[in-house]
Amino acid sequence: MKSRYRTIFDKIFTVTTGLAVLLLVVVLFVILGPMLLRGFSAVLFKGTVEFRKMQLAEFGHGDPEQVRVESERADAVRANVYELIDNFKSGVDIEQLTDRAKEIYRNYGNELRLRELPREQYTALRSLSREIRNRLTDAFSSNSIEQIREHIEYVLQFEDDERFVNTTASGFFQLARQYQKAAAATDLDKRQEYAVELAELEDIITELLGPSPTEDSPALAQFRYGATRWDQAQKLLHRLRWKERWVEPSGKGNLNAESGVSLVRQEFSRKEQFDGTELEPLFGYIEENIDRMLEPKTTFYWRYFLDDSTPGHYFGGIGPEILGTLLLTLLSMIFVVPFGVISAAYLTECTKEGPIIRIIRMCVNTLAGVPSIVFGLFGVAFFVIFLIPLFGGPSQPCILAGSMTLAVLTLPVMIRSSEEAIRTVPRTYKEASLALGASGFRTFMTVTLPAALPGILTGVILSLSRVAGETAPILFTAGITVGPVPDSIFQKTRTLSYGSWDMAVGDKLSAQVPHNQFGMVVALILLILILNALAVFMRSRVFKRLKGQ
């Protein structure tokens, strides 16, 4: 009967264990699946001609001739977009039109002075050009089509005047005809509304296609190019077509701030806002020709793991972050493995169980549960401010300080795993070595340590995973957001964990490129897996050698 119950309990335990493992796999898939999918989009995606232009200009990657040909094709299609905007703007942007008229007036005055005309003639032309300028500015500011026509007709009567032909003053008449055509197709009472909507529309088009050919190149890299990815272009195209507004729910009557009714979000067609104007064809033109404007191609950006990045990780890769993570991880292992093994050997081989040893073990176990940010503050106080300057080093956060802080952080784990590995070595191994006349130290080095090495490597694997993924300690002791690749261990470095944290808590710039943040997290996961795989491979080789295989 007891045997029957035992069999049932064994089966229940086996099934429960299997379900627990299956549940863990499902949870990992649910958590990591979307993250990996979005992370890999930083490497494999549809890149536009703006991406290829950016890669060539910022990092020197790509074929210059091919990029030039693609850019010229795209610019030829985009030219109509800028022409439609300029034509429409000439009827609504009063400030720009006025500034242009004043500029023509100043240039014509300078031209008259250089011609050294008689004073009477100079004064007459200067006065007449001033009157033309004033008539134009009056036309720009008027909402009456009759007054506009009157002012424009006055200006255009001097168009063929030999005193203005082939001079800078001819710009007056070009401006007048352009405004006359635009004003006839524009609701003058809505010019202010048009101007606001046009400014917002221009910002979206700049994000989509980059700065117009007439604009100066912006200083910041993220503003020099349009949408570098096709998914970004699709989002911007949606914003171009639809304007988002928060409005009162329908059927609620007159609402106020005290009514307690929440506003709802609705989308309105931008095209309808410009019905009947010269800008109306713009929306259909962009939708029909967006492929030709951006020329998307499937791109495998393998240099993402090597390239540097622009500030904010808007463009570029994570090469310095990977290098910094490897430096901190490997240097930490150089510190933690010897100290961990030596400490474990002392606790198991050189002492007897007593109150002091129990207190030491309790302290080690307590340190294993201390929050990592506490270790970061300890690293600043001890390594950065005291220890490194004591030996002539700089009193500043650096790779050396960060690696030693991470070593202290993982030392309890290393000690406990090494101690358990040493305890599992059969006592007969030690007794046989001692019986053959070997000393205690030689017995440990040649018999106990090799036999315990697989278990010690397990501690190394656990330490690697924790060191590579820590953020709080390097936040104080080694991390930096933007900076050059370090050339010594006394400089700060960028890391994957610190970089992903910085993007998560950063400004809106990072939110515009979420693929880079996910790509950084996925790269950190892959790096940890690779390091763990190498450690597991080494452990299996050692284990096989111990078994004589």
The first and second tokens of residue 24, run together, are 């863990």
- Please provide the average confidence, as pLDDT, over all residues in the chain: 85
Q: Which pTM was predicted?
A: 0.80
pLDDT band at 331 (very low <50, low <70, confident <90, very high): very high
Residue 260 has pLDDT above 70, yes or no: no
How far from the centroid of its chain's Cα atoms is residue 341's Cα? 41
Residue 461 has pLDDT above 70, yes or no: yes
From the number of C-beta atoms within 10 Å of its C-beta (0-12, 13-18, 19+), residue 259 rates as exposed
Residue 2: its pLDDT value, please?
A: 58
Range 85-101 average pLDDT: 80
Residue 256 has pLDDT above 60, yes or no: no
Residue 234: its pLDDT value, please?
A: 94
User: Which range (61-65, 316-320, 457-461) has the least confidence?
Assistant: 457-461
Range 148-161 average pLDDT: 86
Residue 69: its pLDDT value, please?
A: 94
83 touches 282 (CB < 8 A): no
The first and second tokens of residue 461, run together, are 């694997």
Residue 140: its pLDDT value, please?
A: 82
50: closest CA among 304, 222, 305? Answer: 222
245: closest CA among 266, 274, 272, 215? Answer: 266
pLDDT band at 338 (very low <50, low <70, confident <90, very high): very high
Residue 253 has pLDDT above 60, yes or no: no
Range 78-102 average pLDDT: 84
**48 vs 125, which has greater pLDDT?**
48
| Side-chain half-sphere exposure of 376, counting CA atoms within 13 A | 14
The DSSP output letter for 309 is B
| Fold exhibited by the domain 321-546 | MetI-like fold (1.10.3720)
Range 306-333 average pLDDT: 90
Range 341-350 average pLDDT: 87
Residue 138: its pLDDT value, please?
A: 87
Give start and end residues of each alpha helix (H) in 314-398.
Answer: 319-349, 355-368, 372-379, 388-390
Where in the chain are the domains? 79-189, 321-546
The first and second tokens of residue 84, run together, are 């439609």
State the residue for tokens 């190019």. Answer: 225
Write out pLDDT tens, residues 475-498: 889 988 888 888 899 999 999 988
**194 vs 398, which has greater pLDDT?**
398
Residue 499 has pLDDT above 60, yes or no: yes
Residue 299: its pLDDT value, please?
A: 93
404 touches 467 (CB < 8 A): no
User: Which range (18-22, 117-121, 186-190, 475-479) has the least confidence?
Assistant: 186-190
Write out pLDDT tens, residues 18-67: 888 888 888 778 877 888 888 888 999 999 999 999 999 999 998 999 99
pLDDT band at 95 (very low <50, low <70, confident <90, very high): confident
Residue 547 has pLDDT above 80, yes or no: no
State the residue for tokens 């001819």. Answer: 170
pLDDT band at 274 (very low <50, low <70, confident <90, very high): confident
Residue 507 has pLDDT above 70, yes or no: no
Integer Cα distance of 280 and 311 in angstroms: 38
404 touches 335 (CB < 8 A): yes
Residue type, 38: R
Residue 259: its pLDDT value, please?
A: 55
State the residue for tokens 């492929």. Answer: 291
**256 vs 290, which has greater pLDDT?**
290
Write out pLDDT tens, residues 194-230: 888 888 899 999 999 999 888 888 888 888 899 999 9
241 touches 287 (CB < 8 A): yes
As a whole-number percent, the residues of the chain with pLDDT over 70 amount to 94
**412 vs 549, which has greater pLDDT?**
412
Task: Give the Å distances, CA to CA, from 470 to 7, 388, 543.
Answer: 45, 22, 30
Residue 233: its pLDDT value, please?
A: 93
Write out pLDDT tens, residues 352-380: 777 888 888 888 888 888 889 999 999 99
